[in-house]
Amino acid sequence: MAGTFAIILTFATFITGIFWFLEKFKWKPARQRKVEEVRKQCNGDVDGKILAEVGKPKGWVESLASFFPVLFVVFFIRSFLFEPFQIPSGSMMQTLLIGDFIAVQKYSYGLRDPITNTVLIPTGHPKRGEVAVFKHPNVPQMDLIKRVVGLPGDKIVYLVKEKKILIYPHCQTASEDCVDQQKTEPLDLHYTEPTISDWKEVHQNFKSNPNFYTVEQYKKEGIVDSDSLITLNIQIQQETLGDEPHEILTTLGTQEDPNYFFQQKGQPKATWVVPEGHYFMMGDNRDNSGDSRYFGFVPEKNFVGRATAIWFSLEKQPDEWPTGIRFNRIGGIH
């Protein structure tokens, strides 16, 4: 289902549209006829102020009708072309940072009903490596943004110690050779050697989500480790899922617990075969992302659109006020 704003916008557009059409094709012509009748009754000898008063619409009708063109444009753009989103967490660093405002192309995966998200006109399907917004499979009112890792039929293996993924394509419909990892080769994701990044991950006792600082910001803040504050270094490396490489982050000194992963029936831990009509999504900040490893597969009907560009960016931390504007962040997303 759509979010509250989408429902309100749709309802407001519909109601103001009714008043706009009634005003344009019924009430306004009726007033004009009444003006002509008054003019004829007075043989044209009538004060213009009187005619203006006769032809004047009710204030509330005029206001409601005047809102419709603006609401319709906003409704059409937001429902079928582009929708703005703000990044609230660091799960997609460093592709997307906390405080980035992004444009999501709504028609990438089909023109959809703005209320039910049902595809009205198919236009395409999610591709491996794309950054996409989708409805959480278990909490439909929650929008998430992750990268498309697994397509229908793919076998995904997450190597917990190495913090890498193996993708065996077309396993669900292929022969048993695909199931046996020793008899087939996974996709070459062109991993580069990890290096220490310019990011610091800072955990505070009273905050559920960590803060992320560049080394420069970290020094400027004068942060010092204590009983209530822990700093971790972050590694960076490149991974290629689609046509272009992207950077992923992994936190030194931490490791995901596969016991908390989504367990697919018939598969060992940290291994999944993507069902038909579903996708496997992961964040680029691998140790700080609640994704398909935890909540499972995302149905294609849950997709909202493809993230295409950053149009504005605020320097901020989770649940804190912004401290500046990052103009250098504006641009495309890959």
Just list the catalytic residues.
91, 146
Sheet holding 164-168, edge to edge: 164-168, 155-159, 271-273
Return the closest-CA partner of residue 175 out of 165, 183, 186, 167: 183
Q: Does residue 330 sit in helix, strand or coil?
A: coil
Instruction: List, as one string, the DSSP characters of 122-177.
Output: ------TT-EEEEE-SS-TT-EEEEEEEE-TT-EEEEETTTTEEEEETTTTTS-GG
- C-alpha 52/C-alpha 285 separation (Å) is 65
37 CB contacts (<8 Å, ≥6 apart)? none
**Where are the alpha helices (H) located in the chain, listed in sequence order?**
4-22, 28-41, 48-54, 59-76, 215-221, 292-295
Cα atoms found within 13 Å of the Cα of residue 272, Cβ hemisphere only:
28
Tell me the one-letter amino acid at 301.
Answer: K
Give me the count of residues in the chain. 334
